[in-house]
A and B are shown apart, each in its own frame.
Chain A
Amino acid sequence: QKEVEQNSGPLSVPEGAIASLNCTYSDRGSQSFFWYRQYSGKSPELIMSIYSNGDKEDGRFTAQLNKASQYVSLLIRDSQPSDSATYLCAVNNDGATNKLIFGTGTLLAVQP
């Protein structure tokens, strides 16, 4: 069983729409959750981190965490073609080492 699950996509949304990316995880002891963006041929870069249940907003991005249901989501408002990338969900379930478990990523395509 994959510890962090994401729909591989592609998720296609029109420019200006809200893109919703979802991630589920299996370890109930997980404490820290991260969303990374990866453009084709580039390295992952951090978008958001979230540690507590609820919503966390940063500009056009909102991360949502529900530990009871074991899911974390990322909403992108007013999607732009430049948001087209693979979005990786990562979970830390080992606070002693800060090791992350990554999902396989969701490919987002924003259509102009």
Chain B
Amino acid sequence: NAGVTQTPKFQVLKTGQSMTLQCAQDMNHNSMYWYRQDPGMGLRLIYYSASEGTTDKGEVPNGYNVSRLNKREFSLRLESAAPSQTSVYFCASSGNQETQYFGPGTRLLVL
């Protein structure tokens, strides 16, 4: 039982490059979330998926897209990376108990 897994762990991009962050959970949770964490800003919700087949914007969605591929997987895509997207990205999932369980994070540096 791995919980929530994320790939890659670390990535360096040049401005304008694209990439997809992968997230998978094996807890049979309906809801999944993508956050970014910046110093002094706390965790901010980018997108979430309340159930398979649905996605909605969070607090800071600009510059990102998401795909809920199936119940297990929720990916985050940066189409044209910008230095302002340098951050630590966390994926989380939750079931009926509301508690969110977090993955280990992806550290992204955009040059």
Residues of A within 8 A of B (CB): 8, 32, 34, 42-46, 49, 88, 90, 92, 96-100, 102-105
- Once A97-B48, A99-B58 are accepted as A-B contacts, the answer to whether A104 and B41 lie under 8 Å apart by CB is yes
Residues of A within 8 A of B44 (CB): 102
Assess whether B90 is in contact with A97, with CB atoms less than 8 Å apart.
no
Assess whether A43 is in contact with B104, with CB atoms less than 8 Å apart.
yes
Assess whether A104 is in contact with B42, with CB atoms less than 8 Å apart.
yes
Interface of B is mostly: strand
Assess whether B43 is in contact with A49, with CB atoms less than 8 Å apart.
no
Assess whether A98 is in contact with B105, with CB atoms less than 8 Å apart.
no
Assess whether A88 is in contact with B43, with CB atoms less than 8 Å apart.
yes
Assess whether A97 is in contact with B102, with CB atoms less than 8 Å apart.
no
Name the contact of A43 in the complex, choosing from B56, B99, B102 (C-beta under 8 A): B102
Assess whether B43 is in contact with A102, with CB atoms less than 8 Å apart.
yes
Docked complex Cα distance between A54 and B66 (Å) = 39
Assess whether A97 is in contact with B99, with CB atoms less than 8 Å apart.
no
Residues of A within 8 A of B103 (CB): 43
Residues of B within 8 A of A104 (CB): 40-42
Residues of B within 8 A of A43 (CB): 90, 102-105
Most buried by A among B33, B44, B48, B98: B98
| Closest Cβ neighbor of B91 among chain A residues | A43
Assess whether B99 is in contact with A34, with CB atoms less than 8 Å apart.
yes
Residues of A within 8 A of B31 (CB): 97-98
Tell me if B100 counts as interface (CB < 8 A to partner A): yes
Residues of A within 8 A of B98 (CB): 32, 49, 92, 98
CB distance from A102 to the nearest CB of B (A): 4
Which A-B residue pairs are the 5 nearest by beta carbons?
A104-B42, A43-B102, A102-B43, A102-B42, A98-B98
Assess whether B40 is in contact with A97, with CB atoms less than 8 Å apart.
no
Residues of A within 8 A of B58 (CB): 99
Assess whether B102 is in contact with A100, with CB atoms less than 8 Å apart.
no
